[in-house]
A and B are shown apart, each in its own frame.
Chain A
Amino acid sequence: MKLRLLPILLATALSATACESLATQSAKTASTAPAAASTNPADLNDLEIAHVAYTADNIDIEYAKIALRKTSSPEVRAFAETMVRDHEMVNELALGLLKKLDAQPQDNFLSQKLTADAAGISAKLESLNGSEFDMYYASNELGYHKAVNNLVETAFIPNIENAEMKELFKAGLEIFKAHEVHAEMMVKQLGG
């Protein structure tokens, strides 16, 4: 996961300054400009960023649902329940905001990359059982939240133009950071 997100994060860091104005512009023209035009996360407009966030939330919910089916660990189960609960809440709020703005989230290269990578991880989770499953799930959650939190904090929040959306992402970042701490506790409890 870290390897998959690293190029995105690096691209975001490298192009953050240069693409600041471009990102603003792309957000404004997101409804008309082709999404494949850029692979830089910082180039994503507000609607694309919202799509990435929505996709990332659903991916984590899917991981959690797999865990709830397979784990016998109370700690893992509790964490998985929280992931479902919190990410569904964030998605609900994000969709509510989009509805309020009368806008539709736009698919983009980053959302597609995340979805593709999630398919491989879900397959891995389905193949593991017991403590191996628990440890893989816990470690993946810790890495996943670290990468996403970094992306949101450094690439998304600074580039979001809509004030309400920016505030929602700030709140989301706190949630995901809490999840990161929780995941770290879970890894330690599992002996990782």
Chain B
Amino acid sequence: MKYSVFTFVISAGLCSLIYAACSDANTVAPANSAASINSAQVRPDEQIQLEGLNPQAQNIEQASLKADKIIQPSKVLTPVLTGTLTDKSAEAVRTEKAALVKPNPSEAMPSEVKTGQNTAGKNKAKPGFLEQPTHIDRQAQAPNIKLAQLSSTTEAVASQKELQTLSQSTESLSQVTEQDSNPITNIVTPETSLKPSELKDDLAQTAPEPKPVREPVKHIIEIKRFKFSTPKLEVNIGDEVTWVNLDIVPHTATANDKSWDSGELKKDERYTMIITDETSLAYFCLYHPHMKAEFVIDDKT
């Protein structure tokens, strides 16, 4: 009997000790679990998926990743990053527990978060999310930071569209815009964008076809034997016409409407005039009215 009582007492004491030890272990476990998550090295592709989640979903994801990601302490984490995530660790563990008990399909990670437009909308609703430091390597970090900056507000997207529109006129600017907008190509690519070559075609269709330009020509008209040597002379605007009187009596070259007049040209005297769009084309000799001639504007030029 005494042996039985002793045995019971000993067993009870051992059980108390064991119970006390187990209680202490439970109070420390969350902290240890969070530290393990913070120390995990997350691959870039995994981080991209995380960015598509709201904080609550991220915490769920972080919790669900614990078994895989708690591999070894990170050597790349900064104290700031660690501290930031450590603050969230307690909540993450609590969420983990809830998720393990009752998973909510509506809070599961979206299968595809590729379009910048959709991402922007989510990020505007949760602006603080993308501002959080991320613990990824630099190669994966650059496009994600650019994505975050471009999609942080709808105004940023609007500006991007304006830039895209303005860039249509120049090839270089268009290329720059194309490079910058690559991460969110599905969002901002305008349907009406034109390539430079298309712009040229468009301009060619609307602009009038230029006429061939002809250099001004110098014409000589001899007045000889009471005749103008070229009764019908083809000229163009800007051409220079010179009359020279080879007769022994004076002549004139006078517009029929008297709008221009050479005045009296004695033997071997000359008169030069520039053809303008206002030049009256028909002319005659004022002294000998039967002497007539005219200009013809060369409409081919």
Binding site for B on A (CB under 8 A): 78, 81-82, 85-86, 89-90, 93, 171, 174-175, 177-178, 181-182, 185
Contacts and interface: CB of A to CB of B under 8 A. Distances in A.
Given A174-B225, A174-B226, A185 B289 contact: yes
A93 B291 CA distance: 23
Most buried by A among B249, B289, B291: B249
B290 A178 contact: yes
Nearest to B226: A178
29 contacts: A78-B286, A78-B287, A81-B287, A82-B287, A82-B288, A85-B249, A85-B250, A85-B287, A86-B250, A86-B287, A89-B250, A90-B248, A90-B249, A171-B247, A171-B248, A174-B226, A174-B247, A175-B226, A175-B247, A177-B226, A178-B226, A178-B288, A178-B291, A181-B290, A182-B288, A182-B289, A182-B290, A185-B289, A185-B290
Looking at chain B's contact residues, the main secondary structure is: loop
Nearest to B250: A85
A89 B289 contact: no
A93 B248 contact: yes
B249 A175 contact: yes
A-B pairs, top 3 by smallest CB distance, nearest first, are: A178-B226, A86-B249, A82-B287
Interface residues of B, number: 12
Contacts of B249: 85-86, 89-90, 175
A5 B288 CA distance: 26
Nearest to A175: B249
Nearest to B224: A174
B290 A89 contact: no
Nearest to A178: B226
Interface in B210-262: 225-226, 247-250
Contacts of A89: 248-250
A85 B286 CA distance: 12
Nearest to B288: A178
A171 B291 CA distance: 16
A88 to B, nearest CB: 9
B247 to A, nearest CB: 8
A174 B290 CA distance: 13
A175 B290 contact: no
Contacts of B287: 78, 81-82, 85-86
Nearest to A177: B226
A82 B249 CA distance: 10
Contact of B248 (A81, A82, A175, A182): A175
Contacts of B225: 174
A173 B289 CA distance: 18
Nearest to A93: B248
Interface string B257-301: 000000000000000000000000000001111110000000000
Interface in B98-133: none
Nearest to B225: A174
